[in-house]
Amino acid sequence: MAHDDTVTGDSTGTTGTLERPADLDGAGVRSGPTGRNRSRWIVGAVVGVLAVALVAVSALATIVLLGQRGDDERRTQAIDTARDYAITMSSFDYQNLDANRDKIAGMSTEEFAQRYNEMVDALRGVVTDGQGKATATAEHVAVESLDDDHATVLVFADQQAVNVTAPQGNAQKYRMVLSLVRDGDRWIVDEVQTV
């Protein structure tokens, strides 16, 4: 039977033409999302957009956290290096003044190691004649600034020294600002200032 969209014989005896809804194709099948299907399509699209956004936010958070972890590792390394350096530099025994020289040189830039050696050589006679000995601690160490290649670290070193003029001992408090530079995967000292 042919489909001609003409209706006859209604209760009033009139004849009329049915109009097709715009979203029906020639076979009477809906051609796009409408009604309930449209709601499903919108919900699916929103869920898809939210899923993509969640993946993007997760990726960004991972990148930030990994970067922060790297900063934390460099910060911890800088603190450990500065503490060890300040303790080593502030500790000595007149009977073997060169005991710390190699360690200090290995923790320093070449330029600073040279200046340290010159300082030890200049003070050698005073320390030896005075029979000086010292030990040190560094309980408080903090990073003032840090980037990928440079760090500035503050160290509060406490030294207990004895010598012929102070055989009972003498406590000294040193406040140091250490400038560190990156050397491969470690920090080395480029400058030390006492304040």
Task: Give pLDDT tens digits for 75-122.
Answer: 999 999 999 999 999 999 999 988 888 899 999 999 999 999 999 999
Q: What is the 3-state secondary structure (H, E, C) of 78-133?
A: HHHHHHHHHHHHHCEEHHHHHHCHHHHHHCECHHHHHHHHHHHHHHHHHHHHCCCE
Look at residue 39 in the predicted model and tell me its pLDDT. 78
The larger pLDDT score, comparing residue 73 to residue 69, is at: 73
| CATH 3.40.50.2300 is held by the domain 54-194 | no
- Domain ranges for the chain, please list them: 54-194
pTM above 0.75?
Answer: no
Q: What is the pLDDT of residues 112-146, one digit of tens each?
A: 999 999 999 999 999 999 999 999 999 999 999 99
| Residue 51: pLDDT band with limits 50, 70, 90 | confident
* pLDDT at residue 29 greater than cutoff 60: no
